[in-house]
Amino acid sequence: MSTVLGADAAAQFLPGLRGPEDLRGLPADVLPTLAEEIRGELIQQVCRTGGHLGPNLGVVELTIAVHRVFQSPADAIVWDTGHQAYVHKMLTGRWDSFGTLRQAGGLSGYPNRLESPHDLVENSHASTALGHADGIAKAFELAGTRDRRVVAIVGDGALTGGMCWEALNNLAAAPSRPVVVVLNDNGRSYEPTAGYLPRHLRQLRDNVARGNLFEDLGFAYVGPVDGHDLAATEDALRAAAVLRRPVVVHCVTTKGKGYRAAEEDEADRMHTVSPAASSAASGPSWTSVFGDVMVEIGRQRPDVVAITAAMLRPTGLHAFAVEFPDRIFDVGIAEQHAVVSAAGLAGAGMHPVVAIYSTFLNRAFDQVLMDTALHHAPVTFVLDRAGITGPDGPSHHGMWDVGLFGLVPGARVAAPRDPDQLRVLLRECVACDDGPTVLRFPRGDSGRTLASVGRWGSASVLRAEPDAQILLLPVGPLAEAAVDAADKLRRHGVPVVVADPRWLQPLDPALVQAAGRFRTVFTIEDNAPSGSFGDALARELRETGATTRLHSLTLPADFVPVSSRKDLLHTYSLDAEGLARTVLTTARG
């Protein structure tokens, strides 16, 4: 720690805050001490549990000022992105639960309506708060409520998303609705904010701008104000509140403020930190393997370019960017634009690799379907964080991409079981020149390499017990659990065959034919059940007239809660122990 309270120092004011009304009752001269207490708590707890540290250190004073000027929940306060709402949680009666942050059954890492009436929108995907604010303000107006304000705190990184600009266009068109847009300008998302917007914000900060984009759109503008100066920030917010119209309050903050390790971190200002007691690695991370192979491919293929949506380092593209700075494009938090731009690049003779988290690609489905697949554009989508991701919770599990791409004509979907297969399959993806390809892998370490003992077309056979009538078909890295389950089953006298499909879509006819020769087939995947690999195989088996009994083992048809990947796989019987138990129960039933 640097300028903040020591880890063992007792907080003086924070424990007495049961809600924003208590905060408003504190005299102004004690607020700097409160801010110091909050920073100490953030550093101590988030470094222990893991989470978004840098963004929250940067909004301490801003959050205090918002809750002193506005009266939540009567005044609607929404956050964009919601990972900067930790201080908001502390000031709304949840300080004593903060040690459970991002733990199973504990506080969510994002606003959560089940936790508090002060959490209105569970927005863990960026650029949505202004749209919510527009809808809430319209509802207040229709209800005849004139004394309730709507406040949206939006980062400059989130403001690169197209949905923000759609919302700004609508908000400014209604000058009688009192919506306060608090622009938290720290110049960064993970890394420096992409595009032209940061240049204009810098000109506003330096008072050299020839115009004001927000005023040109129809907003009143207050600022820029030092977002770490509590008195100045409160004054700016009060001035905005009395205008009773759409207004932008431009607050300039420092990501990681008050913690030297974060302020000096040039990569991402400690945007996120991992839990202090993380487990030992079992192989390189999936992300790092992808990043290494991308550099190798880049050296061999000058037509290969890479696109990221404000997540250069998290998606493993930093090394590619260093070696090929003219072939990397950060489009900001704009997934739809990323996909359409990739289609344009492909149409002009390049092969784009769009590296994005699985859950975030959901936002660009229309662009995948109509702008990429319809044009047979050779774009490779690399989906990091596919399947169960862990403590980020329901909004971040990448459990829908297989079902979504199952609706896309001509799309090819690959799932590597180990780092060696990631290297092979990525090369196979970029070799395709007649339509979109997808490579999906989870968060975390890549595990051990699993050797093949045979092939069924493009599928790899990993275990082959004599006289086996049961086939296990795991998707991607769940192959490791399936192989371990096969060893357990052999000891129980139940022989099985384990095969890795490698390509989930389209299904290789050789794999379908082989599966049809077994009495029972289990497909194993951490995907939603609808549109899963198991669904696709069941359909193909029906069409061949096979009498095979297929059991599709998936995640439930619901949002999956917060917990570690290991624990959730165990909960849903997708680990070796659970798979062996399920197969034994079926075999003996």
259 is in an annotated binding site: yes
460 is in an annotated binding site: no
CB atoms within 10 A of CB 464: 14
List of E strands, 214-370: 220-226, 247-252, 304-308, 328-330, 351-357
335 is in an annotated binding site: yes
Compute the distance between CA of residue 272 and CA of residue 124 in angstroms, rounded to an integer.
Answer: 14
Q: Which of 234, 335, 428, 480 is catalytic?
A: 335
Report the helix count and the strand count for the chain, using DSSP H and E: 23, 18
Q: Which of 148, 177, 188, 255 is catalytic?
A: 255
User: Which residue reads 């240049």 in tokens?
Assistant: 199
Look up residue 98 and give its DSSP letter. G
335 is catalytic: yes
157 is in an annotated binding site: yes
Parallel, antiparallel or unpaired: strands 328-330 and 304-308: parallel
- The residues, ordered by sequence, that sit 6+ positions from 316 with a Cβ below 8 Å of its Cβ are 287, 288, 290, 291, 294, 355, 384
Compute the distance between CA of residue 531 and CA of residue 406 in angstroms, rounded to an integer.
Answer: 6
341 is in an annotated binding site: no
Q: Are 453 and 462 in contact (CB under 8 A)?
A: yes
Look up residue 159 and give its DSSP letter. G
83 is in an annotated binding site: yes
CA torsion sign for 7, 13, 19, 23 is negative
Specify the amino acid at residue 253: T
Q: Which of 363, 417, 463, 502 is catalytic?
A: 363
Tokens of residue 578, six digits:
């659970």
Compute the distance between CA of residue 563 and CA of residue 279 in angstroms, rounded to an integer.
Answer: 15
Compute the distance between CA of residue 379 and CA of residue 350 in angstroms, rounded to an integer.
Answer: 9
363 is catalytic: yes
255 is catalytic: yes
124 is in an annotated binding site: yes
88 is in an annotated binding site: no
Using DSSP, state whether 250 is helix, strand or coil.
strand
Tokens of residue 286, six digits:
């999936």
Q: How far is CA 425 from each of CA 178, 380, 409, 477, 584, rounded to the nearest angstrom?
A: 53, 11, 20, 13, 33
Task: Cite the annotated binding site for Mg(2+) by residue number.
Answer: 156, 186
The annotated binding site for thiamine diphosphate is made up of: 83, 124-126, 157-158, 186, 259, 335
Active site residues: 255, 335, 363
Annotated binding site: 83, 124-126, 156-158, 186, 259, 335
